[in-house]
Amino acid sequence: MAQLPRIYITQPVAQGAIDRLKKVADVRWNPNPLHIMTQAELVAAVHDNDILLCLLHDHIDAAVLNANPDLLGVASMTITPADIDIPTATQLGIPVTVIPALLLDDATSDLAWGLLLSLVRRVTEGDRLLRSGTFPGSQSRYMEGSGLTGKTMGIVGMGGVGRAAAARAHAFKLKVIYHDPKRLAPADEEKLRLTWVPFEELLAKSDFVSIHAKLIPETRHLFNDAAFNRMKPAAYLVNTARGPIVDEQALVHALKDKRIAGAGLDVFENEPQPHPELLKMPNVVMTPHTGSAITELRGAMANVVVDNILALIDGKQPPNCWNAELYKDNK
């Protein structure tokens, strides 16, 4: 009997996905959902297995990829494998697979709105206040925040998540402007009730700025000192895209100098460590990169990864292969 392929999973994923893999492979995993594997642990896992199933927070560098010359593939549960050394993987002939972006559109947009509402209505502040034993009175000015109706939301990046965020904005009777280097067709703008503006104009006019852009060289530190200087002092920033789009040191300065009113962040420039000053600020609401943290969604994501892995085991091109050029001779 031929030996089953060996698969290592860097943290627990949906049980249904693991059960599917167990039917065709010897599956092992790191059981601690709070432990991010170190480089040494990843090297050991790759050395002893045929396929690595990794998550967004795993850093798969050249040392990890070179740990097993017979590695069949790296199956990532992320949309863009920013923390995987793709050039090295491709050079070594190792397929790297991802998941489709559209899976996360609604969940990420929901979280962006959760952060914004918590921020402008001071929900987390109120929660901490009440737990500390303080009840300022139901009409006390102590907890006044900002309203939404009739104000302007600026969305940076009009992909699937941006469109989902815009749809929700209209429910709050907000005017929606957006900036994306690839402008939508006029018919789509009319249908979605969107107005394209230059980036600088978006910053100047928006009461709420929500980031839904991809992390590419052009968007790294897109939000810097100059950008914050263009925003309204009463404006709020929300980032559920990628941390390095925001220069966190510049954000800290802008918040301290009251050049903007507050920030809601699910992603950070140097994960897993936010800038320490952000942790002290009451006008900052943070979550630990949980845009996809919905049980049903995570199950769907894990099963897409399984689909990719089953293709790798069968020697076929996976349906979501990032470096698909490895298969060009098979077409």
For 88-148, give the DSSP string.
HHHHTT--EE---GGGGHHHHHHHHHHHHHHHHTTHHHHHHHHHTT----TT-GGG-----
72 neighbors 24 (Cβ within 8 angstroms):
no
Instruction: Please tell me whether the overall predicted TM-score, pTM, comes out greater than 0.85 for this model.
Output: yes
What's residue 5's pLDDT? Answer: 96
User: Is 289 part of the annotated catalytic residue set?
Assistant: yes
Spans in the chain with pLDDT lower than 70: 1-2, 330-331
Do 85 and 195 share a domain, yes or no?
no
pLDDT at position 1 is: 42
**Number of structural domains, the chain?**
2
Catalytic residue among 41, 125, 271, 277: 271
Quote the pLDDT of residue 2: 63
Based on the domain organization, do 139 and 217 belong to the same domain? yes
Parallel, antiparallel, or unpaired: how do β-strands 262-265 and 284-286 relate? Answer: parallel
Half-sphere exposure of 34 (CA within 13 A, CB side): 0
Residue 47 sits in the same domain as residue 158: no
Query: Which one from 242, 259, 269, 275 is the annotated catalytic residue?
Result: 242
| 1 within a domain of the structure (yes/no) | no
Q: Give the span between the Cα atoms of 71 and 67, in whole angstroms.
A: 8
Closest CA to 291 of 276, 282, 306, 301: 301
Question: What domain range includes position 254?
Answer: 103-286
Kindly state whether residues 108 and 246 are assigned to the same domain: yes
Distance between CA 52 and CA 4 in Å, rounded? Answer: 15
Kindly state whether residues 149 and 22 are assigned to the same domain: no
Q: Which pLDDT score is estimated for 137?
A: 86
Do 195 and 169 touch, CB atoms closer than 8 A? Answer: no
Q: What does the alpha-carbon distance between residue 45 and residue 13 come to, in Å, rounded to a whole number?
A: 17
The reply to whether 57 and 185 lie within a common domain is no
Q: Do residue 182 and residue 316 come from a single domain?
A: no
- Judge if 263 and 116 occupy the same domain: yes
Residue environment code for 36-49, b if the CB has 16+ CB neighbours within 10 A, otherwise e: bbeeeebbebbeeb
Burial letters for 311-328: b for 16+ Cβ neighbours within 10 Å, e otherwise? Answer: bbbeeebbebbbbeebee
Q: What is the pLDDT of residue 148?
A: 95
Which residues are CB-contacts of 145 (< 8 A; sequence separation ≥ 6)? Answer: 120, 121, 122
Structure token pair of residue 220: 């790294």
CATH number for 150: 3.40.50.720
Which pLDDT score is estimated for 328?
Answer: 84
